[in-house]
Amino acid sequence: MEKSSNSQPENAAASRLAWKLTAASSSSIFVFGIVMAILGAILPQLVDRLSLQRAQAGNLFFFMNLGMLAATLFFGPVVDRFGFKLLLALSSLLVGLSFTGLAFSSTYDLVLLSVIFLGLAGGVLNGGSNALVNDLNPDRRAAALNFLGVFFGFGAMLVPLIIGGFLIQLGLRPVILIAAALSLVPFILFSVFSFPRPKQPQGFPLKDVRKIISSGLLWLAAFILFFQSGNEFSVGGWLSSYFQERFNFSLSQSALVLSGYWFFLIVGRFLYPGLNRFWKRETVVLVSVVLALVAVAGLILSPLSSLAVVFALLIGLGFAAIYPTTLSVIGEKFPAFSGTAFSLAISTGLVGGMLSPWLIGRVSQGYSLQTALLVPLFNLTMILILQLIVRKKVMT
């Protein structure tokens, strides 16, 4: 009985710590949502102001994602070995500095430098926040990671919403500086909160590292993230430009469509944990992929702007469950090395996030954005095939 009574205060303290760190992680993934959406939201104005070619615009996405990839490759082993606190706090600060640099950039080279640092810092926030929430919620990983993804959606929705409603009154620079100020919130929270001890303070047993790298399930999930990251980066980055090119939408109108896409992604991440009560998570992902396939095809083929807007919103709903639910599979498979496993999987995803928007930029320069959107259609087909394999592997 004495042992039980002593454990109650310890459990309460652990619960309070988990709540605080989940709140801090939610604020950081909110900021990462802004990082992901801001380039696509401001791209039409950057193209006009700096007279950019489509290929140059595609390069901005490529190099921002390259920065994310570099950061994601090292964050996992670092947090498993040394803990989350310092890396997450410094990355939040670097995001704010990068936003500030972007706000005051007057040349293509300065914009490029700013987005590279934005990618580096954002990559750590993304991977670190997901890995931390995964560790804090061992009994409800899929629900916790989908809920974390809700805050990603709020952040991604914020900037296009502000641009759509207040760009004329505020101007572009104040909008970006608002994003810089918001990035100080996770910096403060990560700086003042305590963190769990590192999981591997003595370093990595090589046999465990080999076990992670040789896991077929890890790489199946990683390549689902490869194609899905390509989808989210591509649609988030090029949707505004697509509606301007094909349907002659204004900057404000296209930004509101982009904001609506992110809003429906949020709605999906609220809904899908409830569906997990009735369906297995692999089935939830399959339903999401089919919905997204239909919506992307509809967006490409729709002759009416109003119908195209509906399909754009449905794309967000379809995308919602794929990324966080796939991460939960990895977290469940490697609980003691979640940082390293997430690092490998998210890094693989970011390669797709680099290639797909870049490829859309190249194809659209030679043909049109309508033709270039065949890229996410192909990606979703590959996700469907890989998810069927994962479903069979998990059920056997």
Instruction: Identify the pLDDT of residue 361.
Output: 84
On whether residue 1 sits in a domain, the answer given is: no
Here the CATH number for the domain that contains residue 57 is 1.20.1250.20
On whether residue 96 sits in a domain, the answer given is: yes
Domain that holds residue 369: 14-395
Instruction: Identify the pLDDT of residue 1.
Output: 44
On whether residue 326 sits in a domain, the answer given is: yes
Instruction: Identify the pLDDT of residue 214.
Output: 72
> In whole angstroms, what is the distance from residue 349 CA to residue 82 CA?
24
Contact by Cβ (8 Å): 316, 263: yes
Give the chain's mean pLDDT.
85
Express each pLDDT in 263-279 by its tens digit: 898 888 888 777 777 77
Residue 376's pLDDT band, with cuts at 50, 70 and 90, is very high
Instruction: Identify the pLDDT of residue 32.
Output: 93
pLDDT of residue 3 exceeding 50, the answer is: no
**pTM for the whole structure:** 0.75
Express each pLDDT in 88-97 by its tens digit: 999 999 999 9
Q: Which two tokens stand for residue 191?
A: 């700086």
> In whole angstroms, what is the distance from residue 359 CA to residue 350 CA?
14
Q: Which two tokens stand for residue 49?
A: 């102001």
On whether residue 8 sits in a domain, the answer given is: no
> In whole angstroms, what is the distance from residue 71 CA to residue 106 CA?
26
Express each pLDDT in 38-61 by its tens digit: 887 788 788 888 888 877 887 888
pLDDT of residue 17 exceeding 70, the answer is: yes
Nearest to 255 by CA among 269, 268, 237: 237
Express each pLDDT in 289-301 by its tens digit: 999 999 999 999 9
> In whole angstroms, what is the distance from residue 154 CA to residue 161 CA?
10
10's CB contacts (< 8 A; 6+ apart) are none
Contact by Cβ (8 Å): 25, 148: yes
On whether residue 79 sits in a domain, the answer given is: yes
Q: Which residue has the tokens 């801090």?
A: 24
Most confident range (mean pLDDT) of 82-86, 146-150, 185-189, 264-268 is 185-189
> In whole angstroms, what is the distance from residue 386 CA to residue 369 CA?
27
> What percent of the chain is modeled with pLDDT above 90?
34
> In whole angstroms, what is the distance from residue 24 CA to residue 194 CA?
11
On whether residue 6 sits in a domain, the answer given is: no
Q: Which two tokens stand for residue 298?
A: 């509809």
Taking the CA atoms of 266, 271, 277 and 283 in sequence, report the sign of the dihedral they define. negative
162's CB contacts (< 8 A; 6+ apart) are 170, 175, 178
On whether residue 187 sits in a domain, the answer given is: yes
On whether residue 7 sits in a domain, the answer given is: no
Q: How many domains does the chain have?
A: 1
What is the 3 state secondary structure string of the chain? CHHHHHHHHHHHHHHHHHHHHHHHHHHHHHHHHHHHHHHHHHHHHHHHHHCCCHHHHHHHHHHHHHHHHHHHHHHHHHHHHHCCHHHHHHHHHHHHHHHHHHHCCCCHHHHHHHHHHHHHHHHHHHHHHHHHHHHHCCCCHHHHHHHHHHHHHHHHHHHHHHHHHHHHHHCHHHHHHHHHHHCHHHHHHHHHCCCCCCCCCCCCCHHHHHHHHCCHHHHHHHHHHHHHHHHHHHHHHHHHHHHHHHHCCCHHHHHHHHHHHHHHHHHHHHHHHHHCCCCCHHHHHHHHHHHHHHHHHHHHHCCCHHHHHHHHHHHHHHHCCHHHHHHHHHHHHCHHHHHHHHHHHHHHHHHHHHHHHHHHHHHHHHCCHHHHCHHHHHHHHHHHHHHHHHHHHHHC
What is the pLDDT averaged over residues 303-319? Answer: 95
Q: Which two tokens stand for residue 6?
A: 């002593």
Q: Which two tokens stand for residue 285?
A: 């992902």
